């Protein structure tokens, strides 16, 4: 299951080979006026590309050209101007919704959809209350608030995801092989052929119903390893509001970005 970050647009040709690298990172940036909108972009030449294409994602716009191509990037961008502007604006809006966090005591962070104040104090263990996330001062001093908080989310995630998977699996008539807490930036969950569920710890920020949806989604793959009608029928049986939950993720996924490093 992916979020909008994994739905980066590409037009003009198929991805292939090592061309999965996206974004203008480390590449000189250029500017072009597309129908009144100034767009920054980068150009990358690829020996693997067979056709020119334009990639747009949260990092920006990149024109990928086959080695030796005569096509000029500017011409290609103007040809696809309306699509490029639309996708560019979409990702700009996404970035605007990403929380601006300082990772300081007193700041609030969501746990299962409920905002809680971050407290750093001398204590023997980290603790979650109805209103606070309480981190051990020693854990923070050994690393940082951000690292200690991420580790706390991960520990909460393992217990929470396991409890929910153990609840749903028998009812769905499946057995899973284990849970791996993942750190992927663009994927909420996965299910391997061996039955291992990979679940993103950032989901611990989302409301419980959203966590349930992802757990049900991945467990359903143990019966149907595709996204066909039979698969969605299984998901709907155990999460009748799955469409609303998927829509919530698409709308609010930016709010689950933990820090700028996630982008």
CB 28 within 8 A of CB 62: no
Mean pLDDT on 12-18: 35
pLDDT of residue 6: 41
Q: CA torsion 181→183→186→191, rounded to 10°?
A: -30
Mean pLDDT on 170-179: 97
- Paired with 60 in beta bridges are 57
For residue range 199-233, what is the model confidence (pLDDT) as tens digits? 999 999 999 999 999 999 999 999 999 999 999 99
Give the phi and the psi of residue 3 in degrees, each rounded to 5.
-110, 180
- 249 falls in which pLDDT band (50, 70, 90)? very high
CB 38 within 8 A of CB 29: no
- 242 falls in which pLDDT band (50, 70, 90)? very high
- In three-state secondary structure terms, 224 is coil
Closest CA to 3 of 241, 250, 182, 224: 250
| Whether residue 130 has pLDDT greater than 90 | yes
Q: How many CA atoms lie within 13 A of 69 on its CB side?
A: 21
| Residue 20: burial class (beta carbons within 10 Å; 0-12, 13-18, 19+) | exposed
pLDDT of residue 22: 31
| Residue 210: burial class (beta carbons within 10 Å; 0-12, 13-18, 19+) | buried
CB 11 within 8 A of CB 55: no
Instruction: With residue 115 as reference, give the H or E element that holds it.
Output: strand 114-121
| Whether residue 168 has pLDDT greater than 80 | yes
Task: Report d(CA 178, CA 219) in Å as an integer.
Answer: 11
Instruction: With residue 92 as reference, give the H or E element that holds it.
Output: helix 81-96
For residue range 58-115, what is the model confidence (pLDDT) as tens digits? 889 999 999 888 889 999 999 999 999 999 999 898 989 999 999 999 999 999 999 9
Mean pLDDT of the chain: 89
Mutual orientation of helices 242-252 and 229-238 as an angle, nearest 10°? Answer: 90
Angle of CA points 261, 89, 204, to nearest 5°: 40
Task: Report d(CA 20, CA 70) in Å as an integer.
Answer: 22
* Stretch(es) of the chain classified as CATH 3.30.2010.10: 108-262
CB 214 within 8 A of CB 235: no
Q: Which residues contact 58 (CB under 8 A, 6 or more apart)?
A: 5, 8, 23, 91, 94, 95, 263
| Whether residue 234 has pLDDT greater than 50 | yes
CATH superfamily, domain at 108-262: Metalloproteases ("zincins"), catalytic domain (3.30.2010.10)
Mean pLDDT on 222-250: 97
Mutual orientation of helices 145-172 and 208-220 as an angle, nearest 10°? Answer: 50
Angle of CA points 137, 141, 146, to nearest 5°: 90
């Amino acid at each position: 299951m992916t979020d909008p970050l994994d739905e980066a647009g590409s037009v003009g040709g198929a991805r292939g080979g090592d061309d999965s690298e996206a974004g203008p990172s480390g590449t000189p940036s250029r500017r072009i006026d597309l129908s009144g909108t100034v767009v920054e972009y980068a150009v990358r030449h690829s020996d693997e590309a067979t056709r020119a294409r334009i990639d747009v994602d949260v990092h920006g716009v990149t024109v990928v050209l086959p080695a030796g191509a005569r096509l000029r990037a500017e011409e290609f961008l103007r040809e696809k101007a309306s699509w490029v502007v639309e996708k560019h604006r979409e990702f700009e809006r996404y970035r605007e919704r990403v929380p601006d966090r300082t990772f300081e005591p007193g700041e609030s962070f969501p746990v299962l959809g409920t905002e809680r104040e971050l407290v750093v104090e001398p204590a023997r263990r980290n603790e979650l209350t109805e209103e606070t996330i309480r981190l051990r001062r020693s854990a923070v001093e050994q690393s940082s608030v951000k690292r200690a908080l991420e580790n706390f989310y991960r520990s909460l995630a393992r217990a929470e995801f396991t409890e929910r998977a153990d609840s749903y699996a028998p009812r769905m008539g499946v057995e899973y092989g284990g849970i791996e807490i993942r750190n992927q930036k663009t994927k909420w969950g996965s299910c391997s052929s061996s039955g291992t569920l990979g679940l993103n710890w950032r989901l611990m920020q989302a409301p419980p119903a959203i966590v349930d949806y992802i757990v049900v989604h991945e467990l359903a793959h143990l019966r149907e390893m595709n996204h066909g009608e039979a698969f969605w029928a299984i998901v709907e049986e155990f999460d009748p509001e799955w469409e609303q939950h998927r829509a919530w993720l698409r709308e609010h996924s930016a709010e689950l970005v933990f820090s700028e490093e996630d982008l």
